[in-house]
Every structure is written in structure tokens, then in C-alpha cells.
Chains A and B, each alone.
Chain A
């Protein structure tokens, strides 16, 4: 069924109708009758956000290059469009062919951030698909998920038939291929699930039942079918070099958050920051060759007409041939009137040269992420940046004429005290002082922005056992900092809503009982919780009350090493022993070096070759 005729009249009544029209450059049109498997790739947020996500472009391209598969896109309609769709009884549809999503074989949600979870329920509901996997029939699509939050999928587990853990670009194609075969065989859905349960990266939540003790903690995860593995290993692509990466990406008509050509230079990170989930779950580091990256960049620009190119990884400057790569790309971009943007540079002499060259007079501002205000606390979190590094770079930046410095910190980190908060203020003050020293009192406009986020302990990190600060503790700290920074001229202070961070923490480390909470929050009207203008904390409080669940149990409780954690059966390839060891080192305020300097025995090389271990030994 094509809903085009029904959708069109709505487009004249809503904001940004270009979100819903499809038909962009490099989007794919196939005859749905000609394929065996139709996959609806669902991004649980608006078009502008989803279209800025590289993972969508990778998986869309990987699936659509297969003859038997047609992948289309699905986004969360904005609230104005949702209201009209409900009024006119128009179900959620795919952008490419305007097909109702329930006609897909798969609807695959990407789990990028916890605060998008209620949108998932809303999208299923708008699609006319029963929310719970066990309510769906043979005729309904398989509802599947992947992405970083899939490493603890438990709060959503009851809503999904299949969850994919780890690198997705090969696994998702394999899933669709097997689905095509199963479809031909005419088997039941359960037969399909059983036939794929053993694949690395595949988790079928229905085959696992969590059992809880009287204190509310998890006692056991029972398997309901013997054939399913005890531990779900994440899917790992050992080498990225020959793995699919799109040369043609969809180019949106309308303005989106990031609209540019993107090349992923490497996956994984060797730095080992103890709060960072991405740094743990994307191990090991796998690089693309410089030649490959440059070719991809060339093709992407040619096929999109983009005016901007950027590189994606967890730490741009850590690429092993970064200087050569940056030099080459700068030359290429200049020739083509394309601007190059390089995020998260480590600020050494070379980076300054690069920035001078690519930013010219614009100098958008330099960003540092010390994350913590004191050396002691930076040791705790294993963030290997010193004040000497920061001030050295700031001095250099001031000499080169930068007018704005941004600083990122987290509050509520393990072992944090008032002194650590004072450290944040001191860093900002010292930077202002440096400005006066170098450029004098009348040296012109200069400002420092201090942004503080609230620490959310994440699963699969050394801090996964740690209790989060309460909302009132966070707020006290916000006021404390605000007070002390108020008097410092030229400093702007930003902080995040404490309440959002609490809900994020609940969902990040939640268990399967939270499906009831999510359903209740959604029924009460929660959606777009990641948007401050839509987030409604009182509704979440009410949802907790109505379901009898405790926020503190999930967010503010210290877990013991012995406790079975809801995500213990998901194997990130980093061992629990490593996480415990790192947590202990944190408490001793001891640094663990970058694993390029020597293997730190996280466990990932037991599964797959780790190219970077000890390369600088």
C-alpha cells in the first residue's frame, strides 16, 4: 500500500514538510515485489537527527547493495505530524515508498541514546504494531535493534524479537539473507529465531528469563531453550579495510544537523578512559588505510556535491598516519572548494598548523575536554591530560589569535570532592589570566565557556558498579559552580538538566522490569525525552509511582562485584576481571597507560587480533 495520496494534504499543514517526502539524492528506489526481505531502518528521533548519523548510511548502503534486500528509512514524526497522522489514521510509513511499516519484514531500531526509548514505543504504536514481542503474530514484522545501547538491551528486551550486538554492517546483511531463506521455507517465526540464535552478535531476548531475589537484584538468567548460547558474544569485524563503506550517501534536501561527507578512519579507542562506554565496547582499534580513506573521501564528495568533509573516529589524532592523512586531505579540499573539519584533535604543534590552515580567520573556538577539575580526579577516570597540556595549548592558541575556548567537564564522578569542583573554576580562571598576560587587559574579546555534564555510569565500563549522584546533589554542584564562576569575567557556564541524567542512568543500567516503566511513561505522554523542550520529568516520576519501581534502585545504588548485572550475559569481549581491575586502579588514583604502549589485558585479543596492542612499546 502506498500512502502518498493520504500524506500529501498533511504536508501543507506542518512544519518542515521536507522531512517526510523522501526522494533525496542517492536514496534507493527498488520494486518491493522484486526483493525477498524488506527492512525498515528506524531512527527513533526526527529526520534531521537521524540523517546526520553515519551508521544509517552504512547499514542502508550495505543492505541495498544486496539484490534480495530493500532497506527503507523510518523516522519519528515530529509532534505536529504525529497529531495529524493520528487524527487522519495514517500509520507510520517508510520514506522511500510510503509503505505502512507493518508491511516490512523487519523494523530495525538503532539505539543511540537512552532518551530515545519512548519514541520507539510511539513509533511501533503509530505503525499499528503490538508493542510486546509476545503479542505479535506471524503476520507482524520482526522488530529488531542494534547500536551502542544494545549492549544493555534489557529495559527494551520485551519489545524486541532480535537484538544485534556489536559491528552491524555484516551481521545485518546475514540476518536478512537468512530471513530470505526462511521465508522461502515457510517456517514459523520461532523456527527462524532458533536458526539464528547461535550467530555471534545475535540475542533473542525471549530465550532468556531473568529471575529476581527478594532484595530486587538479579539472581539468575534462565534459558528457556537449551540451544541458545549462555553468553552472547558481540559481532566483531576483524578488519575494516575491505568491509563495506558507502561511497554514495543520501544527501538530504532540507537542512539537517550534520550535512557533510564523513569517512570513518578507525573504530575503537586505546586510551581507556574509565567512564567511556564507547572506548570499551568498540574495541579493538581497527584502522582503514590512508589510501582507502582518501579514496572514500574523493568518491563521497563526487557523489554528493557536499561542501564539507569530516573524519569520524573516537579520537582523530590517534590515527597512525594522521599527519600525512590530514596534509593530503587539506590539499584535496582546497582544490575543490570543500571545507575540512577535524573534530577532537589533540592539540600539538601539528594540529595548530592544521587548524590555522583549515579554519583561517574563522577560528570557531578551541575545545578541551579535561572532564575533571583536578589531576587527582583525572587519574581516577584515566583521562590522560595534564594542566600543563591545557595551559600550553591555550598559550599557543592565544598567540595565534583564538578568541574562544570551550572546556568540557563531568560532575558526579567517583570520589569527587569540593576540591575537584574548585579545580574546574581554577582552570577557567587561569585561562583568563593567561589571556591578560599574553594580550594585556585591553587585548580584545576573549571568552571561556565551561560546560558541565552530569556523570551517568554506563554498563560495560569500570564504573558500572558506581552509584550516580542524586538530582539534588547535581543541582547543588551546579549552583556551587555557578556561584564561583559568576565573578570571573568572560566565563560562560552551561550545565545539563540533572533530571534528564537521572532517567538516562536508570535506563542505561536497567533490567527487564523497566519495560513496564517505559510503557507507562510513553502512555502518560513522554516522547522526545532527549529534547529539553519535550522532556517532562513529572510524567516520569508518575510512571515510577504507577509501576512501583524505584529510581534510586537503578540510578543511585552501589552494586557489588558479586551482583549479577542485567547485561552480564552480553559479552563485549572486554572481561569483567579487567573492568574490576580498572575500577580498583581508579580508587587508587592510578593511571593505566594507553594500550599502544603495552597490552593492558582487557581480553579483546582473546577473540580477535588487536592491531594496536603495544605498537609503541
Chain B
């Protein structure tokens, strides 16, 4: 099996396309590149490629991961060179490396992510501190479940770490959150908890969210 992954950034205007749009973009780029992907068997064959973690529309990503399988072995650095010119503005492939043939997919291994949440100080207030926030044992937010009913959820156990710094007029919160198939915390919900905690409305469109890194179970490194 010839398995590889690409590490790429998604910044600027292109952050306004969805996860599925991005997947289609990569499929087409592979088609144009001549790099032959393995297709699934069956009536409706589709190429084997997927992201380690979907990135929400509107977020920027600095080290997003796409894994894929090719029909034969290709030199990884050559693939990077072939694919990069086919990328639109805002998508930059930083790395391409081989993965071990056997074992779980990166999507199955991913379990956490490091985010940067940037909020104008005038909206969050000067005295916000993650430490206060983390000292709590419960941080309850309301969330719609799959049946579209509102349920209350304690997100505190899903926050691994959080600290902040001030940059110009913004407070930047660096937080490690669960991000995987067993436990997943959307930064949206963290933001909701911050709103509850500070009692300030903080409109979503004023907040910038960047995903810096994806983590894997048991400190697995790629």
C-alpha cells in the first residue's frame, strides 16, 4: 500500500469554502496532476483520500492534514512539487510524506487540536483570564443534538489547556481542545462558554479562529 499525507495551510478567502468543497478541490487537483489515486471498488468508485479532521467553514488552518493512497509508489517530495502549483491562492502544501501502509487512518487517530481564538479586547474585556475559566469544574453550554433538541453539555473535560496573550487590540486564546471521533469540542462552543462566563455577547463575525495543529492519540507523531 502506498499511503501518504500532505500537510497544508488554508488561509485568506479560501477559508470560506467548506470541508466538502476542499475535498473536491483536492480530488480534482489529483486528477489534473496525473498522480493516480486508488479508487474504491463498486458501482460508484471514488478515490481514497480524506482529511485527518474536517475544518469548519470560516476557520483558517496552518497545518491541516490530507491522507491519500496511490496506485504505485511516488517520491513524496515530487508530489508536493507537482501539486503545489495546482493549488489556488490560500492553499499551500508544506509537506508531503509517506505513511506506514498498515494501521489506522489519521482520521481515526486524531484526538485533539490546538486553536487560536482571536477576540477584540473591546469585546471580551481586559480582565479575561483562562486560568479563572479553567479553575471551574463545570462549564455548561447549550447545544443542539442530532435530533435538534437543545441539551446542556459540560465542556470543561474537553478543554485540555488554555492560555492567552495580548496582541495589539486582540486577546488571543491558545487552547488545546478534544478533536476526534470519541470526543470533540468545537471552538464555537468554547466561545459560547466564554460569552456565558464574561456575560458579553461577542458577535461571532468579530472572532477569528485558526487551527494551528492536530494531535493524535498516545502522542503519535507523523
Contacts and interface: CB of A to CB of B under 8 A. Distances in A.
Interface of A: 8-9, 11-13, 17-18, 20-25, 251, 253-255, 301-307, 336-337, 360-362
B16 interface: yes
A12 B27 contact: no
Interface residues of B, number: 27
Interface-central residue, B29, B57, B90, by most chain A CB under 10 Å: B57
Nearest to A18: B17
A305 B30 contact: yes
A112 B13 CA distance: 30
Nearest to A303: B32
A23 B32 contact: no
B203 to A, nearest CB: 9
Given A253-B21, A304-B32, A305-B29, A23 B14 contact: yes
A598 B18 CA distance: 54
Top 3 A-B residue pairs of the complex, sorted by shortest distance between their CB atoms: A305-B28, A305-B31, A12-B205
A306 B45 CA distance: 15
B32 A12 contact: no
A156 B28 CA distance: 41
B58 interface: yes
A254 B205 CA distance: 21
Interface of B: 13-14, 16-18, 20-21, 24-25, 27-32, 39, 43-45, 47, 57-58, 88-90, 204-205
A151 B24 CA distance: 39
A253 B17 contact: yes
Contacts, number: 67
Contact of B45 (A9, A20, A337): A337
Interface of A is mostly: loop
B89 A18 contact: no
A253 B14 contact: yes
B58 A12 contact: yes
Contacts of B57: 17
A360 B32 contact: no
16 contacts: A11-B16, A13-B205, A17-B57, A18-B21, A23-B89, A254-B18, A255-B21, A255-B24, A303-B32, A305-B27, A305-B29, A305-B30, A306-B31, A307-B27, A307-B31, A337-B47
Given A8-B13, A253-B21, A303-B32, 6 more contacts: A18-B16, A255-B20, A255-B24, A307-B28, A307-B31, A337-B47
Contact of B32 (A17, A302, A362): A302
B88 A25 contact: yes
A393 to B, nearest CB: 24
Contacts of B45: 337
B32 A305 contact: yes
Contacts of A24: 88
A229 B114 CA distance: 70
B27 A23 contact: no
A305 B16 CA distance: 21
B43 A360 contact: yes
A584 B111 CA distance: 75
